Structure 1
Amino acid sequence: MHNRSRYLIFFQYIGTKYCGAVRSPPHQLNKTGIQNHIEDAIKKLRPVDPVLSTISSRTDTGVHALSNSAHFDLQRRNDMPPFPEDILVNALNFHLKTEEIRITRAYRVPHNFHARYCAQSRTYVYRIALGVNNRFLLPVTEQNLCWCLRNTELDVGAMREAAALLVGLHDFSSFRAVSSDMPFKNPVKMLNVASIQPSCSFMQTHFCREIPILELTFKSPSFLYKQVRRMTGALVAVGLGRISVPQMKEILEAKDSLVYPQGLAAPAHGLFLTRVDYKKTDLQISPETSEEQLVSTGTSED
């Protein structure tokens, strides 16, 4: 039908009370997925057919996103024209109401566009608060949004040396979760960025005590299940002197998830998906109906 449109939406959420980005199974009643709520909001727009969305990045329970993405097809009733992008954003946010989920942008895209397979890269940031015994000592703006370490200092130099070992094309089997439900996914990944930098935050400017925040940034076309949290946990162990840089290399080169030290993975609540990038040419419907645009979750162009 001429008025059926495919949309790409970007959305953000605080993942604390959700079971992850994708929809929850029918038998799970205590927590729902972000996808459940987005599809419920789309349903309230009264489309001709039921709408199923496709999420680009499957974040885990408790993980947050400053920008995830999804696509879906929508046909309005009574042969009405497609929703303009800004109207769609406002309508979905209205129906999401008090959920900690917000649609930030929407784009009409070609009918063969796929939010997951067209993504060129994904960027995650892991936040660590130093010198804090537990999250209840953080300001309310930061609770459940970073990993609290009682240590006031980490050997950042050693962490950066270890992080450099991870950059490039590697078999990351050692950093794949043992309980992964995707055992046949190719473990060879290209990690473009693994950086460690101090963060300047609203909290540090206005809170009554200074709390250093470290941000670990990872960028890759795709990641294995819990790969970022396991890499983060290992790098923190290096910073604490529990693992040496040569031992980090041995873990990587072992290509075996059972070699990864038990209990070392970082908790979910410090992790943010911050960018999903696409080629501008993949987003063009036609020269007549769409201008060239680079859609990404940030302001820089990679």
Structure 2
Amino acid sequence: MGGSRARYLIFFQYFGTKYSGVVRAPESQAVLGVENYLEMAAQKLRPVGKVKFSISSRTDSGVHAISNSAHVDIERTSDKSPFSEAILVKALNFHLHPEPISVLKAIRVSDDFHARFKAISRTYFYRVVTGCTNKDLPVFERDLCWAASESHLDITRVQEAAQFFVGTHDFSGFRSTNKETPFRSPVKTLLQAHIAPSSCILLNQVQNSDLQFWDFTFKGKSFTYNQVRRMTSALVAVGLGHLTPKHIKLHLEERKPPVYPGNLVAPPSGLFLKEVEYDETDLQCKEPEVRRRSPGDT
């Protein structure tokens, strides 16, 4: 039987602590990925065939997303029209409950649209708190930031150092290795590096006046593996006096990782994917949409 097939760009958010990451994990694995739950929700819409999401931006276990994106093809039987965008959002969220995953928006796109390759920028921010240890974090901030130090940062030095990251560089000194590293270029263009007090809505509820929260925001078309977490760690080291701003410039030029006390990859819990941007012209469906509703629609 012929089907009614449509491709959608889906924007979704999630609290990443309980997942293996955003991408699909083997079903035999104890901890699954966000993609597993998106696909299970989509299968409950009774599509024709198996539904697969194509994620635009990978995030690791423990990393959160204010807004990630993916494209997905959903085919229905010939007697049913494609889901409207609003109905699809509502239906997916119904079947995702009670997981801490929420679909924010769906846009009908052309059949050749690709969520990963059509993205023009990605913005991440990393939440850092100083003035306490991890065990002293307020309850509602746990798993949502990095308690980097009981000492406060010299933010002027941090902001100066961050600007050395802006532009096109070989970030070999600020990436981790994984199975894909040898096949991915370390040359990336950072469009923005901005350090500012955190905009977290819980700040006014924090009673400990010694705490200082900061958002380390980075924007670029793409990032190499663990780049944001390693840049953040190095900038915190600058703020604590372990490195100078010029060390950042030097290590970028030499393509070598900086060495400093406590050298580490900032933990995943403070990292958020804030936004994936697209050119508006790419979001216009080139095929006519069918808006009629049949009696069998849900």
5+ long unaligned stretches in structure 1: 291-302
Change (3 A) 1:260 1:171: farther
**1:164 match:** 163
**1:39 match:** 39
Change (3 A) 1:32 1:2: closer
CA shift for structure 1 position 207: 2.7
**2:140 match:** 141
5+ long unaligned stretches in structure 2: 291-298
CA shift for structure 1 position 39: 0.5
Is 1:9 matched up with 2:6? no
After superposing the two structures, state which structure 1 stretch, 203-212 or 246-255, moved more.
Answer: 203-212
Q: Is the 8 A contact 2:177 2:225 kept in 1?
A: no
Q: d(CA) in 1 for partners of 2:94 and 2:205?
A: 32
- Trace 1:196-215 onto structure 2 (pairs within 5 A): 196-210=195-209, 211-215=211-215
CA shift for structure 1 position 89: 0.7
Q: Which secondary structure state, in structure 2, belongs to the residue aligned with residue 183 of structure 1?
A: helix
The superposition leaves residues 135-155 of structure 1 with CA deviations (integer Å, 9 ceiling, x where unpaired) of: x43333321000013324101
Q: Which secondary structure state, in structure 1, belongs to the residue aligned with residue 265 of structure 2?
A: coil
Q: d(CA) in 1 for partners of 2:50 and 2:179?
A: 31
Which amino acid letter does the alignment assign opposite residue 249 of structure 2?
K
Which amino acid letter does the alignment assign opposite residue 244 of structure 2?
S
**1:178 match:** 177
**2:83 match:** 83
Q: Is the 8 A contact 1:180 1:225 kept in 2?
A: no
**TM-align CA RMSD:** 1.9
Matched residues, number: 287
Which amino acid letter does the alignment assign opposite residue 161 of structure 1?
E
The superposition leaves residues 50-94 of structure 1 with CA deviations (integer Å, 9 ceiling, x where unpaired) of: 011100000011100000000010011353001111111111111
Q: d(CA) in 2 for partners of 1:192 and 1:268?
A: 22
**1:102 match:** 102
Q: Which secondary structure state, in structure 1, belongs to the residue aligned with residue 105 of structure 2?
A: strand
Which amino acid letter does the alignment assign opposite residue 185 of structure 2?
N
The superposition leaves residues 118-166 of structure 1 with CA deviations (integer Å, 9 ceiling, x where unpaired) of: 00000000001111211x4333332100001332410111111111111
**1:297 match:** none
Q: Which secondary structure state, in structure 1, belongs to the residue aligned with residue 69 of structure 2?
A: strand
Return the TM-score normalized by structure 2.
Answer: 0.91
Q: d(CA) in 2 for partners of 1:163 and 1:222?
A: 17
